[in-house]
Amino acid sequence: MGFMLLKSESPHGARAGELVTPHGMVPTPVFMPVGSQATVKTLAPDDLRAIGAKMVLANNYHLYLRPGIEVIEKMGGLHKFMGWDGAILTDSGGYQVFSLSPLRRITDEGVSFRSHIDGREHFLSPELAVQYQESLGADVIMVLDECPPHDESEPEVREAVDRTHRWAEKCRKAHRRAGQALYAIVKGGVYPELRKQSAEYLTALDFEGYAIGGLSIGEPKSATLSMLETTVPLLPENKPRYLMGVGSPEDIVEGVARGIDMFDCALPTRTARNGALLTWEGRRNIDNAVFTEMEAPLMPGCNCYTCRSFSAAYLHHLFKAKELLAYRLATIHNLSFMQSLMERIRNAVLDGTFAEFRKEFRARYKPTDEAVRVTQKQKWLKSKRG
């Protein structure tokens, strides 16, 4: 395991590097498709390889509940189980425990929670979170963290930060597996002083990498970017920086501009299944009547399998008919777009032209309206909680 920084615009600006894992080198900046339950929805591993993905994300919480950690371990580990020979990062499941479980009890020992699937009670400690991820065999694993809502009061967020720090120490002591990196998670909500304290505390423990968590969960984008500007300068320059749960193209460009190396989010795959396809001008709703007789591909010039092979009219038809192929083709396109975005960003950093790329991207790409985005996010979170 290792991380090599190849180029950086400034100490806290856009950077390009290489993340070395037992399952190959991952060029950074990198976007990781989300495969929470050992699959990126609608796609096979060959699809991911064709797209150019090098690293995917899976989730300890979901895999613990089904099929069970022991099942995956008996099958030879997560890579073999899901037929993926690239790198894998597993989240500890902390966010899912706090966002999906209807009932939970938190102590310094861990968290007791009820499954969102069948209501059965479970217990997850920092030590167990590490043990389970070691059994899965992921290349990068995460500490267990407490995840309060974005609008929680400062005293309550401070309490969660302190507990996350104690849990991080326990995770560090419990981690034994060689060839596997353990990342800490900097918390603090939208409170700058708490973010600073968290970054300083965790960097003193010398983890292999550092994630920034508890953002993009309902707060304004301006607050997200402000917290990045507060936190990133306090993280080691020679270690990877991972912004959790962020995947809008405009947010990735701005995250890279502030020194982030790694991103993950279900947004590109989730919006694909809802017919929202990514282009360099912004999202396009394939359900719109304008695509009914469009002979050209959705995004002329796109080299993905979907755009090489099918017209926008065909995609429009598939979605109207609710054919399952619609979701696969849309997902291939959106993840191909994300891969192309990351390649362009990386090349621009290496060429010293990222500032120009960022300017051109912002002038061309039209993001989703902020009020609409927040409403959609809250609606999705509410649906996940049941």
Q: Which residues are catalytic?
A: 91, 264
Distance CA 188, CA 215 (A): 9
Check if the beta carbon of residue 129 is closer than 8 Å to that of residue 60: yes
Q: Cα dist. 162→123, 128, 142, 283, 383 in Å?
A: 20, 19, 17, 40, 30
Q: Burial level of 346, CB count in 10 A (0-12/13-18/19+)?
A: buried
- Write out the DSSP string of 290-309: GGTT--S-SSTT--SHHHHH
Check if the beta carbon of residue 23 is closer than 8 Å to that of residue 87: yes
Of 93, 81, 69, 71, residue with least CA distance to 143: 93
H-type alpha helices, 137-290: 154-174, 192-203, 221-231, 249-257, 267-273
Q: Cα dist. 269→23, 249, 273, 275 in Å?
A: 24, 13, 6, 10
Task: Give, for 363, the enclosing helix (H) or strand (E).
Answer: helix 354-364
Q: Burial level of 383, CB count in 10 A (0-12/13-18/19+)?
A: exposed
